[in-house]
């Protein structure tokens, strides 16, 4: 597995407050990492999550699948990588992997399904998909 298999990767470092009483990163924090990587990816393609929200368009997550393969500990370095594809007419699929650095130990595999809503109702994510060239 290598960074070149993904269209986007982002580097992180575990912060102590993200670890729980087991001494490892709490499961929920991986969703934060995954989300932050997706948002940074979207921004890198000219899609601002908070600007969209101000226009009434929200990109929401409708399904999350996360396989936890290996824990992260205090101050571990890691990389969150992703690929994205269209799924049906209205959904966007993010495949995301987290690798500890520098040994590329596979920490998390995740599939995140997103959808677009305008004022709470599902809409086609055409503008977003165009910017993502999907």
20 counts as catalytic: yes
- The candidate with the shortest Cα–Cα distance to 40, out of 80, 78, 2, 68, is 80
CA dist 132 and 84 (Å) reads 9
Closer Cβ to its own copies, 31 or 83, answer by number: 31
Asked whether the beta carbons of 13 and 75 are under 8 A apart, the reply is yes
Tokens at residue 12, please? 């992180």
CA dist 110 and 75 (Å) reads 22
Query: 28, 89, 102, 133: which one contacts its own copies (CB under 8 A)?
Result: 28
Asked whether the beta carbons of 76 and 6 are under 8 A apart, the reply is no
Catalytic residue among 11, 20, 51, 67: 20
Asked whether the beta carbons of 72 and 78 are under 8 A apart, the reply is yes
Contact region with its own copies (CB under 8 A), list: 1-9, 25-33, 80-88, 122-130: 25-33
User: Per-residue contact track with its own copies, 72 to 101, x per CB under 8 A?
Assistant: -xxx--------------------------
Query: 29, 87, 105, 106: which one contacts its own copies (CB under 8 A)?
Result: 29
Query: 7, 47, 58, 105: which one contacts its own copies (CB under 8 A)?
Result: 58
Number of Cβ atoms within 10 Å of the Cβ of 38: 23
Residue positions annotated with a catalytic role: 20
Residues that bind its own copies (CB under 8 A): 15-17, 19-23, 26-29, 31-32, 35-36, 39, 43, 48-50, 53, 58, 60-69, 71, 73-75
């Amino acid at each position: 597995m290598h960074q070149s298999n993904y269209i986007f990767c982002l580097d992180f470092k575990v912060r102590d407050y993200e670890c729980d009483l087991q001494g490892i990163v709490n499961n929920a924090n991986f969703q934060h990492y995954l989300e932050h990587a997706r948002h940074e990816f979207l921004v890198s393609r000219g899609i601002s999550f908070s600007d969209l929200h101000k226009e009434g368009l929200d990109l929401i997550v409708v399904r999350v699948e996360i396989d936890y393969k290996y824990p992260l500990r205090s101050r571990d370095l890691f990389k969150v990588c992703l690929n994205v594809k269209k799924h049906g007419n209205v959904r966007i699929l993010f495949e995301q992997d987290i690798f500890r650095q520098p040994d590329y130990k596979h920490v998390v595999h995740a599939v995140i399904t997103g959808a677009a809503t305008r004022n709470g109702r599902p809409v086609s994510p055409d503008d977003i998909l165009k910017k993502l060239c999907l």
